[in-house]
């Protein structure tokens, strides 16, 4: 009986065909993997973009807001220091471009420091639930008695804003109970108050001017934040994030990473009765910050995953997208 089987040539042909099939499968796998990584990178960029614009816009829309609508008549009796920089100086809105400094944020290469050449913006107003004043006493230890309300309470060290239809005052509470807020000069709190007179012009060094707020005046927590693009210390996922430096509890300066993957931020400003968009430098030179009524934000984001873009020259092959959003300042329209 004749024995049958594969000869050497047939075996080699079979192996070559198998290699071609295997190469096709591997190529298909790599192609699908590249598509998956690209789609994942695009999704991550879009999600980061939505979060960044949403959180940043929330602060920007309330820029310069005071519950009593008198943002141009604000006394400020807080002591200034290098630690809090511009955060406790009432300006409502300020921006910087390029390498222009905006203390206490530092431009540099360490984690949390601002990226040179990017825009930064200081926004101020009030936040949280407000309370109504029942009685303002300026004799002895000055204090505010608030109408009973369990929706929110204040604490010693809180930076607060009191206001009525005539003016507003930024000060620090030295002590607080459920319905009482006291304030003094000095003490162990930071930054502390430089005077107990809360009237205009109300600034440090002391320029005493006393005022008594009427019943039904408003009291709220003061909000002051600087938004910027900074180093996040993680070069493996792009190395940059959107940051916020703000005034926190007891007047402490708090720096927070908000959204990873934000690599650049450029801001343009629109003034009332002006068709053009200006830079921060132009607005500052014209001393026109009070006339800014809208912002144009151009934000650039990169994917956390490297080597997924056809252009390897962009941040180690990361996907990169730029988005623009225009934000109207509700308090100035």
For the entire predicted model, the pTM comes to 0.86
**What is the pLDDT confidence band of residue 113, given thresholds at 50, 70 and 90?**
very high
**Other beta carbons within 10 Å of 238:** 22
Residue 6 in this model has a pLDDT that exceeds 70: no
Distance CA 262, CA 70 (A): 35
- pLDDT mean over 143-151: 94
- pLDDT mean over 307-326: 80
Residue 41 in this model has a pLDDT that exceeds 80: no
**Contact assessment for residue 299 and residue 322, using Cβ atoms and an 8 Å cutoff:** yes
Distance CA 172, CA 85 (A): 16
Q: What is the pLDDT of residue 234?
A: 94
Q: Is residue 197 part of a domain?
A: yes
Instruction: For 171-202, write each residue's pLDDT tens digit.
Output: 999 999 999 999 999 888 889 999 999 999 88
What range defines the domain where residue 115 resides? 44-332
Helix, coil or strand: residue 30? helix
Q: What is the pLDDT of residue 233?
A: 95
Higher pLDDT, 122 or 319: 122
**What is the pLDDT confidence band of residue 115, given thresholds at 50, 70 and 90?**
very high
Q: What is the pLDDT of residue 273?
A: 87
**What is the pLDDT confidence band of residue 304, given thresholds at 50, 70 and 90?**
confident
Q: What are φ and ψ of residue 91, in 5° steps? A: -135, -15
**Contact assessment for residue 49 and residue 323, using Cβ atoms and an 8 Å cutoff:** yes
Q: Is residue 9 part of a domain?
A: no
Number of domains in the chain: 1
**Other beta carbons within 10 Å of 178:** 10
Q: Is residue 6 part of a domain?
A: no
**What is the pLDDT confidence band of residue 23, given thresholds at 50, 70 and 90?**
confident
Q: Is residue 8 part of a domain?
A: no
Pick the range with the lowest mean pLDDT from 10-14, 47-51, 179-183, 227-231. 10-14
Residue 12 in this model has a pLDDT that exceeds 90: no
Q: Is residue 212 part of a domain?
A: yes
Instruction: For 76-89, write each residue's pLDDT tens digit.
Output: 999 888 888 889 99
Q: Is residue 52 part of a domain?
A: yes
Q: What are φ and ψ of residue 304, in 5° steps? A: -70, -30
Q: Checking phi first, is residue 251 left (phi over 0); if not, alpha (psi -120 to 50) or beta?
A: left
Residue 121 in this model has a pLDDT that exceeds 70: yes
Task: Collect all residues with Cβ–Cβ distance below 8 Å to 192 and sequence separation of at least 6.
Answer: 78, 79, 172, 185, 186
Q: Using CB atoms within 10 A of its CB, is residue 186 exposed (0-12), middle (13-18) or buried (19+)? A: exposed
Distance CA 26, CA 290 (A): 62
Instruction: For 84-109, write each residue's pLDDT tens digit.
Output: 888 999 999 999 999 999 999 999 99
Residue 4 in this model has a pLDDT that exceeds 70: no
Q: Is residue 66 part of a domain?
A: yes
Tell me what the pLDDT averaged over the chain comes to: 88
Q: What is the pLDDT of residue 64?
A: 86
DSSP strand pairing (253-260 vs 262-271): unpaired
Residue 7 in this model has a pLDDT that exceeds 80: no
Q: Is residue 192 part of a domain?
A: yes
- pLDDT mean over 267-287: 94
Q: What is the pLDDT of residue 31?
A: 62
């Amino acid at each position: 009986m004749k024995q049958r089987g594969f000869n050497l040539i047939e075996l080699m042909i079979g192996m070559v065909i198998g290699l071609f099939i295997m190469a096709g499968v591997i190529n298909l796998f790599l192609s699908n993997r590249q598509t998956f990584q690209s789609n994942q990178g695009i999704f991550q960029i879009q999600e980061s973009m939505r979060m960044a614009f949403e959180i940043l816009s929330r602060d920007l829309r309330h820029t310069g807001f005071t519950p009593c609508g008198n943002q141009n008549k604000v006394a400020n009796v807080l002591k200034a220091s290098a630690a809090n920089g511009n955060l406790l100086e009432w300006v409502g809105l300020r921006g910087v471009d390029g390498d222009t400094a905006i203390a206490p944020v530092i431009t540099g290469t360490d984690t949390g420091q601002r990226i040179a050449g990017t825009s930064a913006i200081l926004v101020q107003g009030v936040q949280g639930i407000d309370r109504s004043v029942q009685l303002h006493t300026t004799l002895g230890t000055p204090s505010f008695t608030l109408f009973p309300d369990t929706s929110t309470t204040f604490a010693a060290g809180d930076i607060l804003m009191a206001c009525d239809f005539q003016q507003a005052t930024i000060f620090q509470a030295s002590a607080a109970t459920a319905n009482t807020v006291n304030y003094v000069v000095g003490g162990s709190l930071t930054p502390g108050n430089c005077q107990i007179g809360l009237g205009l012009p109300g600034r440090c060094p002391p320029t005493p001017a006393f005022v008594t707020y009427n019943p039904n005046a408003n009291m709220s927590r003061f909000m002051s934040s600087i938004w910027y693009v900074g180093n996040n210390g993680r070069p493996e996922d792009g190395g940059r994030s959107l940051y916020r430096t703000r005034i926190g509890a007891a007047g402490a300066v708090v720096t927070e990473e908000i959204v990873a993957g934000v690599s650049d931020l450029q801001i343009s400003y629109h003034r009332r009765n002006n068709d053009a968009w200006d830079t921060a430098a132009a607005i500052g030179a014209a001393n026109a910050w009070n006339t800014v009524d809208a912002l144009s934000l151009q934000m650039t984001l990169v994917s956390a995953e490297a080597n997924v873009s056809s252009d390897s020259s962009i941040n180690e092959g990361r996907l990169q997208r730029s988005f623009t959003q225009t934000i109207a300042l509700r308090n100035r329209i």
